[in-house]
Every structure is written in C-alpha cells, then in structure tokens.
Structure 1
Amino acid sequence: MDVDTLLTTTRSARRSLDLEAPVDLDAISECLRVGLQAPNGSNQQSWRWLVIAEPSLRTRIADLYREAYLEKVGGQLIAGFLPAGSPEARLMSSTEWLVEHLGEVPVLVIPCYQPTYPRTDGDESFYQATLYGSIFPAVWNFQLALRTRGYGTCITTLHLQRERAVADLLGIPQGYVQGCLLPVAKLKPGCAVKPAQRRPIDEVIGIDGWKGGNH
C-alpha cells in the first residue's frame, strides 16, 4: 500500500484481532526492529520491549487489566446499559471485548523506558514530554510495521493501574516506566480498514496562535 493509505488506515484493532491465528515471533521481532528506528530522547535508547507470549503470563496480566477496568467503571461491564447502536455503546463494546479477551490475544508487548533526565521541582511537563516522546514514536512505527505484515494492535494503558504488580510479575527493574500495553494478533481475514471520521482540519489548526484561522 502507499504511504498515505498506510498512515490513514492503521486503526486501533480490538474485535478485528484474530485470536486463533498463529503469530510468528520472528515477524514481531522484525516489526520491532523497524519500530526502534524511531527518534528517542538524546538517542539514549534506554528502553526494553517485553514480548509476552507465555499463556500463564498473559492470563495474569489480563486478570490485572480486568480488575483495573472494573474498578474504574464501578464493578460491572457497562456497554449493555448504553443506548443500542450509539457511538458510545460501540466504543465501550469494543473496549470491553478487549477486557474480556485480553488473555487470549497471542502476544502482548510492553515498552519500558528508563528516564534519562532526573526529576526536578516544577518540571512535570518537560519530564512527561521527554519520557513519552521517547517511547511513542517507536510504538507508532511498530504499529505501522505490524499493519504491513497483516497484524493489528492498539495502544492500551489500563494495566498501568496495576503497574507495580505487572512489574513484579515480569521482573521489570525499579527505575523503568511502562509506556503502554499493545495486544498483537493477526487481523481477521477480510477485515476492512478505512480512514476514520475526523473533525474538519479548519477546526483543529491554529495559525500563529490558538485562535488563528487556517489559511
């Protein structure tokens, strides 16, 4: 596919993930090789990418993920209580599908990063931007590489509500931050992927300031 098509049709994949199709770990490693060409802070490459394929580990992480989700929404799944067919119901149905099936996704990938700058008082914005700006370019590269090979994924962060438990489970050392969690599987055959609806560009661009109109 051409570059514009790749960039505009790589979507978050949840229900479209094929839980039964085998995953080639060599292909995942190749996608990570591509992904890690992305820029990162001072080119420190202070990262470790955990590829979790062991079923018992995936199940435990999925249990922690589900606990965190239910804690967030008040103890029960909520998609069925929303107006049928509404955008909110469709979104929550997809979200809760992943909550219920995360442990069945063949591979989970967790990028970890060791911050290269010490924390100082009042530097929260700088610290966060530097940290996550060193992770997510590679995450997006990885997602694009997966798409070209017939795989799908989505960025999830809910497991971070149980970050310490996940770190203990996987032996992540102190000082490393988990950026997100990416469930990876083959896309279902015939899965149609198209550009998403987005707000008009004039509504979201400011020229030379917040209120500047688009030229």
Structure 2
Amino acid sequence: MDIEYLLTATRSARKTLDLDAPVDHADIRECLRIGLQAANGSNQQAWRWLVVSDPALRTEIAELYRKSYLLRVGGELFADKMPAGTPATRLMSSTEWLVVNMAKVPLLVIPCYEPYLPRIDGDESFHLATLYGSIFPPVWNFELALHTRGYGTCITTLHLQYESEVRQLLGIPATYTQGCLLPVGRLRAGHTFSPAIRRPVEEVVALDRWDGPAL
C-alpha cells in the first residue's frame, strides 16, 4: 500500500466493519507488534493492551457504551430523525450503528497505560500530555497496520463514562489509565477508503504566533 495513501486514507471504520468475517488473532498480534514500535514517554513502555474477544465480556462493555451514549443524547437514538443525506446525519448514523452493534464487533481492544512520573501541584497539562502522548502514537500505528491487512477500527471513548465498571469487569489495576476503546473487525469485502476533505493548511497553521501569518 502506498505510504501517502495509507496516511491520508486510513479512516474511522464503523459501518464498514464486517461483523460476520472471522478475525485472525495472529494478524491482530502482528498489528499490535507494529503499533508498539511507536514512541512513548521515556521509552517506559508502561502499557498493557487488552484484546477482548469473549462474547459475554463484549456484551457487557457494549451495554456500558450504549448507556454512556444515551446519557449524552437525551436517552434515545436520534439519527433516523435527522434530515436525510446531510453529512451530520451520515456521521450520526454511523455513530449510532456502532452503539447498536458494538457487542457484535469481533474484538474490542483497550490500551491501558501506567503513569510513571510522580505528580506535583499544577502539573495537570503536563501529566495528561505525557500520559496520552504515550497511548495514541501506538494506537495510530495499530490503526495503520490494521488497514494494510484489510481490517478497520475507530477510536472511541464513551466507555470511559463507566471506567470503573470496565476496570472491575476486566481486572484492570487501579494504577492504569484506559486510553480508549478500539472496535476491530475486517473491512467489508471490496471496501476502500479515500482521503477525507480537510481544511487547507493555510487556514489552520500559523507561523510564530497564534495570530501569525500562514506557513
């Protein structure tokens, strides 16, 4: 796969996941091996990745995910009530498809990380940047590796509304932070992604200062 295409056309996969296609654990292990080559804070590699395949566990996590979503949208799914054909409707339809079908996705991957630096007063921004700066580089590497092998995923965080319940369910130690949840499955046969429409670089990049000229 062409590198520029891979970097620009690796998209969030929801409806494009094939819920019935088998997932090869050897493929996922190799994608994780590639993912874990990513940079991380002081090369501590203080991570633990949980690959959840047990149907009962996936069902429980999916129910917590659904509860979290409904908590944020007023208690009911609403994509079908939105105007048809708009970008917002397509996005919400995809989002709610995952809410409904999360338990059927073959694997749920949860990257966890244990902060290794002592906390000091006023270090919240530093702490969070160090923590998530050690989680999301390998997450993105993992996504890219999945794409090259015909799999897809998307970064989700709704389950973190019930982080303690998921922690107890999976036996995650209290010292570890759950970074996100990645629903992983094969992409539907024949499906390909295209680069997304993004705002031009000159609109979002400034030189030297916030109000500086475009680069």
TM over 0.5: yes
**Structure 1 CA distance for aligned equivalents of residues 108 and 210 of structure 2:** 39
Q: Which residue pairs with 1:103 in the alignment?
A: 103
What does residue 84 of structure 1 align with? Answer: 84
Work out whether 1:5 is the aligned partner of 2:8: no
Q: Whole-Å Cα distance in 2 between the matches of residues 48 and 180 of structure 1?
A: 12
Q: Which residue of 2 aligns with 1:70?
A: 70
Question: Deviations for 1:78-118, whole angstroms, at most 9, x for unmatched residues?
Answer: 11222211111111110000000000000010000000112
- Alignment partners' CA distance in 2, 1:145 and 1:187: 13
In 2, the alpha carbon distance for the partners of 1:74 and 1:118 equals 39
Identity over aligned pairs, percent: 66
Q: What secondary structure does 1:184 align onto?
A: strand
**TM-score, normalisation: structure 1:** 0.98
| Aligned: 1:23 with 2:23 | yes
Q: Which amino acid letter does the alignment assign opposite residue 62 of structure 1?
A: A
Matches within 5 A, 1:1-215: 1-215=1-215
1: CA distance, partners of 2:160 / 2:3: 32
Aligned residue type for 1:181: L
For 2:213 and 2:90, locate their aligned partners in 1 and report how far apart those are by CA, in whole Å. 34
Distance 1:119 1:91 in 2: 39
**Cα deviation per residue 1:29-51 (whole Å; 9 max; x = unaligned)?**
11000000001011110000000
How far the C-alpha of 1:209 sits from its partner, in A, is 1.3
String of CA shifts for 1:39-73, please: whole Å, max 9, x gaps: 10111100000000111110110011001111111
Give 5+ residue unaligned stretches, structure 1.
Answer: none
Q: Secondary structure at the match of 1:193?
A: coil
Paired residues, number:
215
Shift of 1:214: 2.4
What is the CA-CA distance between 1:185 and the residue it aligns to? 0.3
SS of the residue corresponding to residue 21 of structure 2 reads coil
Whichever residue aligns with residue 126 of structure 2, its letter is: F
